[in-house]
Structure 1
Amino acid sequence: MAPTKAPDSSRRSDRSRRAIHDAALALVTEVGYRRTTIEGIAARAGVGKQTIYRWWPSKAAVLMDAFLDLAGRAAEDAGAGSGSGSGDTGESAPGIPDTGDLAADLKLVLRATVDELNDPALEAPTRALTAEGIVDAKLGAEFVHKLLDPQLALYVTRLRAAQEAGDVRADVDPRIALELLIGPLMHRWLLRTLPLTHAYADEIVDYAVGGLAPRA
Protein backbone atom coordinates (compact mmCIF):
# COMPACT_ATOMS: atom_id res chain seq x y z
CA MET A 1 0.00 0.00 0.00
CA ALA A 2 1.15 3.53 -0.76
CA PRO A 3 1.95 5.54 2.37
CA THR A 4 -0.86 7.82 3.50
CA LYS A 5 0.07 11.47 3.14
CA ALA A 6 -0.41 13.51 6.32
CA PRO A 7 -2.81 16.46 6.05
CA ASP A 8 -1.13 19.78 5.35
CA SER A 9 -1.90 21.73 8.53
CA SER A 10 -0.53 24.98 7.14
CA ARG A 11 -2.81 24.77 4.11
CA ARG A 12 -5.76 23.99 6.36
CA SER A 13 -4.88 27.00 8.54
CA ASP A 14 -4.65 29.25 5.48
CA ARG A 15 -8.09 28.09 4.33
CA SER A 16 -9.53 28.72 7.80
CA ARG A 17 -7.97 32.17 8.02
CA ARG A 18 -9.31 33.13 4.61
CA ALA A 19 -12.77 31.81 5.52
CA ILE A 20 -12.70 33.87 8.73
CA HIS A 21 -11.53 36.97 6.85
CA ASP A 22 -14.27 36.58 4.25
CA ALA A 23 -16.91 35.97 6.92
CA ALA A 24 -15.85 39.02 8.93
CA LEU A 25 -15.91 41.31 5.89
CA ALA A 26 -19.25 39.94 4.72
CA LEU A 27 -20.86 40.45 8.12
CA VAL A 28 -19.54 43.95 8.68
CA THR A 29 -20.88 44.83 5.23
CA GLU A 30 -24.30 43.30 5.88
CA VAL A 31 -25.01 44.24 9.51
CA GLY A 32 -22.35 46.82 10.45
CA TYR A 33 -19.44 46.71 12.85
CA ARG A 34 -21.36 46.78 16.11
CA ARG A 35 -23.68 43.91 15.22
CA THR A 36 -20.82 41.78 13.94
CA THR A 37 -19.76 39.25 16.59
CA ILE A 38 -17.11 36.59 17.03
CA GLU A 39 -19.93 34.04 17.23
CA GLY A 40 -21.37 35.28 13.95
CA ILE A 41 -17.99 35.24 12.23
CA ALA A 42 -17.29 31.70 13.46
CA ALA A 43 -20.68 30.43 12.29
CA ARG A 44 -20.32 32.10 8.89
CA ALA A 45 -16.78 30.72 8.44
CA GLY A 46 -17.68 27.24 9.65
CA VAL A 47 -15.11 27.22 12.46
CA GLY A 48 -15.23 27.20 16.24
CA LYS A 49 -14.91 30.37 18.32
CA GLN A 50 -11.71 29.04 19.87
CA THR A 51 -10.13 28.86 16.42
CA ILE A 52 -10.66 32.59 16.06
CA TYR A 53 -9.47 33.40 19.58
CA ARG A 54 -6.34 31.33 18.98
CA TRP A 55 -5.28 33.80 16.28
CA TRP A 56 -6.96 37.09 17.26
CA PRO A 57 -7.71 38.65 20.67
CA SER A 58 -10.86 40.51 19.62
CA LYS A 59 -13.44 41.22 16.94
CA ALA A 60 -11.61 44.43 16.05
CA ALA A 61 -8.38 42.52 15.49
CA VAL A 62 -10.14 40.03 13.20
CA LEU A 63 -11.73 42.77 11.11
CA MET A 64 -8.57 44.83 10.92
CA ASP A 65 -6.54 41.82 9.77
CA ALA A 66 -9.24 40.88 7.26
CA PHE A 67 -9.40 44.40 5.88
CA LEU A 68 -5.61 44.73 5.60
CA ASP A 69 -5.50 41.42 3.75
CA LEU A 70 -8.27 42.56 1.40
CA ALA A 71 -6.57 45.92 0.78
CA GLY A 72 -3.26 44.16 0.13
CA ARG A 73 -4.81 41.82 -2.40
CA ALA A 74 -6.55 44.74 -4.12
CA ALA A 75 -3.24 46.62 -4.35
CA GLU A 76 -1.52 43.55 -5.82
CA ASP A 77 -4.27 43.14 -8.41
CA ALA A 78 -4.04 46.83 -9.33
CA GLY A 79 -0.28 46.59 -9.67
CA ALA A 80 -0.50 43.49 -11.83
CA GLY A 81 -3.09 45.14 -14.03
CA SER A 82 -1.15 48.35 -14.53
CA GLY A 83 2.06 46.65 -15.61
CA SER A 84 5.57 47.99 -15.15
CA GLY A 85 5.20 50.95 -17.48
CA SER A 86 7.64 52.01 -20.17
CA GLY A 87 10.79 54.03 -20.34
CA ASP A 88 13.55 54.51 -17.76
CA THR A 89 11.74 55.96 -14.79
CA GLY A 90 12.70 56.06 -11.16
CA GLU A 91 10.40 55.20 -8.31
CA SER A 92 10.26 57.13 -5.06
CA ALA A 93 8.45 54.33 -3.21
CA PRO A 94 6.33 51.26 -4.03
CA GLY A 95 3.04 52.35 -5.55
CA ILE A 96 4.08 55.97 -6.15
CA PRO A 97 5.69 56.56 -9.54
CA ASP A 98 8.35 59.20 -10.04
CA THR A 99 8.43 59.94 -13.74
CA GLY A 100 9.54 63.53 -13.23
CA ASP A 101 6.00 64.78 -13.87
CA LEU A 102 4.51 65.35 -10.41
CA ALA A 103 0.98 66.11 -11.60
CA ALA A 104 0.82 63.02 -13.82
CA ASP A 105 2.15 60.79 -11.05
CA LEU A 106 -0.33 62.10 -8.49
CA LYS A 107 -3.23 61.76 -10.92
CA LEU A 108 -2.31 58.13 -11.50
CA VAL A 109 -2.34 57.42 -7.76
CA LEU A 110 -5.52 59.36 -7.00
CA ARG A 111 -7.37 57.68 -9.86
CA ALA A 112 -6.41 54.30 -8.38
CA THR A 113 -7.69 55.51 -5.01
CA VAL A 114 -11.00 56.52 -6.60
CA ASP A 115 -11.31 53.04 -8.09
CA GLU A 116 -10.67 51.43 -4.68
CA LEU A 117 -13.19 53.65 -2.89
CA ASN A 118 -15.80 52.87 -5.55
CA ASP A 119 -15.13 49.12 -5.43
CA PRO A 120 -18.14 47.49 -3.65
CA ALA A 121 -15.88 44.86 -2.09
CA LEU A 122 -13.82 47.57 -0.37
CA GLU A 123 -16.34 50.36 0.09
CA ALA A 124 -18.62 48.79 2.71
CA PRO A 125 -15.93 47.53 5.11
CA THR A 126 -13.97 50.76 4.67
CA ARG A 127 -17.02 52.82 5.62
CA ALA A 128 -17.81 50.55 8.57
CA LEU A 129 -14.29 50.68 10.00
CA THR A 130 -13.95 54.40 9.31
CA ALA A 131 -17.23 55.16 11.08
CA GLU A 132 -16.45 52.93 14.05
CA GLY A 133 -12.96 54.37 14.30
CA ILE A 134 -14.51 57.78 15.00
CA VAL A 135 -16.22 56.54 18.18
CA ASP A 136 -13.71 53.82 19.12
CA ALA A 137 -10.42 55.66 19.64
CA LYS A 138 -8.37 52.46 19.93
CA LEU A 139 -9.74 51.00 16.70
CA GLY A 140 -9.34 54.37 14.97
CA ALA A 141 -5.70 54.64 16.04
CA GLU A 142 -5.01 51.11 14.81
CA PHE A 143 -6.72 51.86 11.49
CA VAL A 144 -4.53 54.94 11.03
CA HIS A 145 -1.32 53.23 12.16
CA LYS A 146 -1.68 50.04 10.13
CA LEU A 147 -3.42 51.26 7.00
CA LEU A 148 -3.37 55.03 6.51
CA ASP A 149 0.08 56.01 7.76
CA PRO A 150 1.99 53.64 5.42
CA GLN A 151 0.00 54.99 2.45
CA LEU A 152 0.45 58.63 3.45
CA ALA A 153 4.17 58.07 3.85
CA LEU A 154 4.35 57.30 0.12
CA TYR A 155 2.92 60.74 -0.69
CA VAL A 156 5.39 62.40 1.67
CA THR A 157 8.30 60.64 -0.04
CA ARG A 158 7.11 61.63 -3.52
CA LEU A 159 6.51 65.25 -2.53
CA ARG A 160 9.96 65.49 -0.94
CA ALA A 161 11.46 64.18 -4.16
CA ALA A 162 9.53 66.91 -6.00
CA GLN A 163 10.97 69.48 -3.61
CA GLU A 164 14.50 68.27 -4.35
CA ALA A 165 13.74 68.53 -8.07
CA GLY A 166 12.51 72.11 -7.64
CA ASP A 167 8.89 71.28 -8.53
CA VAL A 168 7.54 72.06 -5.05
CA ARG A 169 8.42 75.03 -2.86
CA ALA A 170 11.04 74.32 -0.22
CA ASP A 171 8.89 75.80 2.54
CA VAL A 172 6.00 73.37 1.90
CA ASP A 173 5.33 70.74 4.58
CA PRO A 174 4.73 67.51 2.61
CA ARG A 175 2.55 66.06 5.38
CA ILE A 176 0.18 69.02 5.16
CA ALA A 177 0.42 69.21 1.37
CA LEU A 178 -0.77 65.63 0.92
CA GLU A 179 -3.96 66.55 2.79
CA LEU A 180 -4.79 68.91 -0.10
CA LEU A 181 -4.97 65.76 -2.22
CA ILE A 182 -6.51 63.20 0.11
CA GLY A 183 -8.84 65.48 2.10
CA PRO A 184 -11.22 66.53 -0.70
CA LEU A 185 -11.37 62.99 -2.05
CA MET A 186 -12.33 61.50 1.32
CA HIS A 187 -14.77 64.33 2.05
CA ARG A 188 -16.74 63.67 -1.12
CA TRP A 189 -16.61 59.91 -0.58
CA LEU A 190 -17.72 60.03 3.05
CA LEU A 191 -20.59 62.46 2.51
CA ARG A 192 -21.61 61.12 -0.92
CA THR A 193 -22.22 64.71 -1.99
CA LEU A 194 -21.27 64.10 -5.62
CA PRO A 195 -19.91 61.18 -7.66
CA LEU A 196 -16.28 60.26 -7.06
CA THR A 197 -14.65 60.23 -10.50
CA HIS A 198 -11.28 60.27 -12.23
CA ALA A 199 -12.05 63.76 -13.54
CA TYR A 200 -12.53 65.01 -10.00
CA ALA A 201 -9.25 63.41 -8.91
CA ASP A 202 -7.47 65.13 -11.81
CA GLU A 203 -8.92 68.52 -10.83
CA ILE A 204 -7.78 68.09 -7.23
CA VAL A 205 -4.25 67.44 -8.43
CA ASP A 206 -4.27 70.44 -10.78
CA TYR A 207 -5.49 72.78 -8.02
CA ALA A 208 -3.07 71.39 -5.43
CA VAL A 209 0.02 71.30 -7.64
CA GLY A 210 -0.69 74.85 -8.79
CA GLY A 211 -0.55 75.99 -5.18
CA LEU A 212 2.56 73.98 -4.34
CA ALA A 213 4.64 75.11 -7.31
CA PRO A 214 7.48 77.62 -6.85
CA ARG A 215 6.38 81.22 -7.23
CA ALA A 216 8.06 83.66 -9.55
Structure 2
Amino acid sequence: MLTEVGYEGTSVRGVAARAGVGRASILRRWPSKAELVAHSFFTLPPDEGWTDRTDRTDWIAGVVEQTHRFYSDAEVQAALPGLIVAYQQDPELRAAIWHKYTSPDAQRFATKSESSIADADILFVLLVCGGVAMYAATIADLEYTPEVRSRVARLLQTATRPRHR
Protein backbone atom coordinates (compact mmCIF):
# COMPACT_ATOMS: atom_id res chain seq x y z
CA MET A 1 0.00 0.00 0.00
CA LEU A 2 2.84 2.41 0.80
CA THR A 3 4.29 2.20 -2.69
CA GLU A 4 0.84 2.79 -4.18
CA VAL A 5 -0.34 5.78 -2.12
CA GLY A 6 2.66 6.86 -0.02
CA TYR A 7 2.71 7.46 3.71
CA GLU A 8 0.14 10.24 3.64
CA GLY A 9 -2.31 8.11 1.65
CA THR A 10 -1.87 5.09 3.90
CA SER A 11 -4.36 4.78 6.74
CA VAL A 12 -5.07 2.27 9.47
CA ARG A 13 -8.59 1.96 8.06
CA GLY A 14 -7.20 1.20 4.58
CA VAL A 15 -4.74 -1.37 5.90
CA ALA A 16 -7.51 -3.03 7.91
CA ALA A 17 -9.80 -3.15 4.88
CA ARG A 18 -7.07 -4.68 2.73
CA ALA A 19 -6.31 -7.25 5.45
CA GLY A 20 -10.00 -8.06 5.87
CA VAL A 21 -10.07 -7.15 9.56
CA GLY A 22 -11.60 -4.36 11.58
CA ARG A 23 -9.72 -1.15 12.30
CA ALA A 24 -9.81 -1.96 16.03
CA SER A 25 -7.86 -5.18 15.38
CA ILE A 26 -5.02 -3.18 13.86
CA LEU A 27 -5.09 -0.49 16.55
CA ARG A 28 -4.89 -3.08 19.36
CA ARG A 29 -1.47 -4.10 18.11
CA TRP A 30 -0.22 -0.80 16.65
CA PRO A 31 -1.69 2.31 18.30
CA SER A 32 -0.74 4.63 15.44
CA LYS A 33 -0.16 4.65 11.72
CA ALA A 34 3.52 5.44 12.30
CA GLU A 35 3.98 2.36 14.50
CA LEU A 36 2.13 0.15 12.02
CA VAL A 37 4.21 1.41 9.10
CA ALA A 38 7.50 1.16 11.00
CA HIS A 39 6.66 -2.39 12.07
CA SER A 40 5.87 -3.36 8.48
CA PHE A 41 9.43 -2.87 7.34
CA PHE A 42 11.58 -2.91 10.47
CA THR A 43 10.60 -6.55 10.87
CA LEU A 44 11.82 -7.58 7.41
CA PRO A 45 14.11 -10.57 7.88
CA PRO A 46 17.81 -9.73 7.63
CA ASP A 47 20.08 -11.55 5.22
CA GLU A 48 20.99 -15.11 6.18
CA GLY A 49 23.62 -15.25 8.93
CA TRP A 50 23.56 -11.49 9.48
CA THR A 51 22.82 -11.67 13.19
CA ASP A 52 25.54 -14.26 13.83
CA ARG A 53 28.48 -12.07 12.82
CA THR A 54 31.02 -11.62 15.60
CA ASP A 55 34.07 -10.24 13.77
CA ARG A 56 34.23 -6.42 13.73
CA THR A 57 35.24 -6.16 10.06
CA ASP A 58 32.59 -8.64 8.94
CA TRP A 59 29.92 -7.00 11.12
CA ILE A 60 30.65 -3.52 9.74
CA ALA A 61 30.47 -4.81 6.15
CA GLY A 62 27.18 -6.46 7.06
CA VAL A 63 25.76 -3.26 8.57
CA VAL A 64 26.68 -1.36 5.40
CA GLU A 65 24.91 -3.95 3.22
CA GLN A 66 21.86 -4.31 5.48
CA THR A 67 21.28 -0.56 5.69
CA HIS A 68 21.67 -0.27 1.92
CA ARG A 69 19.14 -3.07 1.40
CA PHE A 70 16.76 -1.49 3.90
CA TYR A 71 16.83 2.08 2.55
CA SER A 72 16.69 0.87 -1.07
CA ASP A 73 13.35 -0.83 -0.40
CA ALA A 74 10.50 0.94 -2.23
CA GLU A 75 8.15 0.77 0.77
CA VAL A 76 10.77 2.23 3.09
CA GLN A 77 11.41 5.07 0.65
CA ALA A 78 7.67 5.75 0.38
CA ALA A 79 7.28 5.81 4.17
CA LEU A 80 10.36 7.79 5.20
CA PRO A 81 9.09 11.35 4.68
CA GLY A 82 5.97 10.73 6.76
CA LEU A 83 7.80 8.77 9.43
CA ILE A 84 10.43 11.46 9.83
CA VAL A 85 7.66 14.00 10.46
CA ALA A 86 5.90 11.61 12.86
CA TYR A 87 9.14 11.04 14.78
CA GLN A 88 9.78 14.77 15.09
CA GLN A 89 6.26 15.34 16.38
CA ASP A 90 6.44 12.44 18.83
CA PRO A 91 9.88 11.95 20.44
CA GLU A 92 8.52 9.09 22.57
CA LEU A 93 7.53 7.21 19.42
CA ARG A 94 10.97 7.86 17.90
CA ALA A 95 12.67 6.50 21.03
CA ALA A 96 10.36 3.49 21.17
CA ILE A 97 11.02 2.60 17.53
CA TRP A 98 14.77 3.00 18.03
CA HIS A 99 14.82 0.80 21.13
CA LYS A 100 12.55 -1.83 19.64
CA TYR A 101 14.14 -2.24 16.23
CA THR A 102 17.69 -0.83 16.11
CA SER A 103 19.08 -1.12 19.61
CA PRO A 104 18.73 -4.95 19.65
CA ASP A 105 21.12 -5.23 16.68
CA ALA A 106 23.74 -3.27 18.58
CA GLN A 107 23.17 -5.29 21.76
CA ARG A 108 23.33 -8.59 19.90
CA PHE A 109 26.69 -7.72 18.35
CA ALA A 110 28.06 -6.33 21.62
CA THR A 111 27.26 -9.55 23.49
CA LYS A 112 28.41 -11.95 20.75
CA SER A 113 31.43 -10.03 19.53
CA GLU A 114 34.87 -11.51 19.83
CA SER A 115 36.43 -8.18 18.94
CA SER A 116 37.01 -5.19 21.13
CA ILE A 117 34.69 -2.55 19.75
CA ALA A 118 33.29 0.00 22.15
CA ASP A 119 29.53 0.37 22.58
CA ALA A 120 29.86 3.97 21.37
CA ASP A 121 31.54 2.70 18.20
CA ILE A 122 28.75 0.19 17.61
CA LEU A 123 26.24 3.03 17.79
CA PHE A 124 28.50 5.16 15.57
CA VAL A 125 28.56 2.43 12.89
CA LEU A 126 24.77 2.05 12.96
CA LEU A 127 24.20 5.81 12.73
CA VAL A 128 26.74 6.42 9.97
CA CYS A 129 25.60 3.46 7.88
CA GLY A 130 21.94 4.36 8.28
CA GLY A 131 22.57 8.00 7.46
CA VAL A 132 24.71 7.31 4.40
CA ALA A 133 22.33 4.67 3.05
CA MET A 134 19.25 6.83 3.62
CA TYR A 135 20.87 9.88 2.06
CA ALA A 136 22.09 7.89 -0.95
CA ALA A 137 18.69 6.26 -1.47
CA THR A 138 16.52 9.34 -1.05
CA ILE A 139 18.41 12.60 -1.58
CA ALA A 140 21.80 12.29 -3.27
CA ASP A 141 22.22 11.99 -7.00
CA LEU A 142 24.57 9.10 -6.37
CA GLU A 143 24.51 5.42 -7.18
CA TYR A 144 25.37 3.61 -3.95
CA THR A 145 27.39 0.95 -5.74
CA PRO A 146 29.17 -2.01 -4.13
CA GLU A 147 32.41 -0.05 -4.55
CA VAL A 148 31.03 2.96 -2.66
CA ARG A 149 29.63 0.69 0.07
CA SER A 150 33.00 -1.06 0.35
CA ARG A 151 34.71 2.31 0.82
CA VAL A 152 32.22 3.24 3.56
CA ALA A 153 32.94 -0.08 5.28
CA ARG A 154 36.71 0.48 5.08
CA LEU A 155 36.40 3.99 6.51
CA LEU A 156 34.29 2.69 9.41
CA GLN A 157 36.69 -0.19 10.03
CA THR A 158 39.54 2.31 10.29
CA ALA A 159 37.53 4.63 12.53
CA THR A 160 36.61 1.83 14.94
CA ARG A 161 39.96 0.03 15.00
CA PRO A 162 41.08 -0.51 18.59
CA ARG A 163 43.76 1.95 19.61
CA HIS A 164 46.75 0.60 21.47
CA ARG A 165 48.44 2.92 23.93
TM above 0.5, yes or no, is yes
> Against the structure 1 CA distance between its residues 96 and 34, is the aligned structure 2 distance closer, same or farther, given a 3 Å change threshold?
same
- Counterpart residue type for residue 47 of structure 1: V
Please point out which of 112, 118, 121 is paired with 2:72: 118
What displacement does 1:203 show? 0.5
Report the equivalent of 2:139. 191
> Against the structure 1 CA distance between its residues 198 and 126, is the aligned structure 2 distance closer, same or farther, given a 3 Å change threshold?
farther
Could you tell me which runs of 5 or more consecutive residues in structure 2 were left unpaired when the two chains were aligned: none
Report the equivalent of 2:21. 47
What displacement does 1:97 show? 1.4
Q: Indicate whether 1:30 and 2:30 are aligned.
A: no
Please point out which of 24, 30, 33 is paired with 1:59: 33
Q: Indicate whether 1:97 and 2:53 are aligned.
A: yes
* Counterpart-to-counterpart distance in 1, 2:160 and 2:27: 49
Please point out which of 132, 147, 152 is paired with 1:204: 152
RMSD: 3.3
Query: Which 4+ runs in 1 deviate beyond 6 A?
Result: none
What displacement does 1:144 show? 1.2
Q: What is the percent sequence identity of the aligned residues?
A: 24
- Counterpart residue type for residue 140 of structure 1: R
Q: Indicate whether 1:174 and 2:121 are aligned.
A: yes
* Counterpart-to-counterpart distance in 1, 2:132 and 2:42: 23
Q: What TM-score comes out, normalization by structure 1 length? A: 0.57
- Counterpart residue type for residue 3 of structure 2: T
What displacement does 1:49 show? 2.6
What displacement does 1:127 show? 5.3
- Counterpart residue type for residue 120 of structure 1: A
- Counterpart residue type for residue 113 of structure 1: T
* Counterpart-to-counterpart distance in 1, 2:140 and 2:15: 29
* Counterpart-to-counterpart distance in 1, 2:59 and 2:3: 32
Q: How many pairs does the alignment contain?
A: 163
Higher Cα Rg: structure 1 or 2?
A: 1
Aligned with 2:13: secondary structure? helix
What displacement does 1:194 show? 1.2
Report the equivalent of 1:136. 90
* Counterpart-to-counterpart distance in 1, 2:27 and 2:133: 37
What displacement does 1:140 show? 1.9
**Which of 1 and 2 has higher RCO (CA within 8 Å, sep 6+)?**
2
Q: What TM-score comes out, normalization by structure 2 length? A: 0.70
Q: Is the 8 A contact 2:30 2:36 kept in 1?
A: yes
Q: Is the 8 A contact 1:42 1:52 kept in 2?
A: yes
* Counterpart-to-counterpart distance in 2, 1:42 and 1:95: 32
* Counterpart-to-counterpart distance in 2, 1:215 and 1:162: 14
Could you tell me which runs of 5 or more consecutive residues in structure 1 were left unpaired when the two chains were aligned: 1-25, 85-93
Report the equivalent of 1:162. 115
> Against the structure 1 CA distance between its residues 50 and 111, is the aligned structure 2 distance closer, same or farther, given a 3 Å change threshold?
closer
Q: Is the 8 A contact 1:42 1:48 kept in 2?
A: yes
Deviation by residue 1:19-51 (Cα, 9 ceiling, x = unmatched): xxxxxxx1x333333443232223322333343
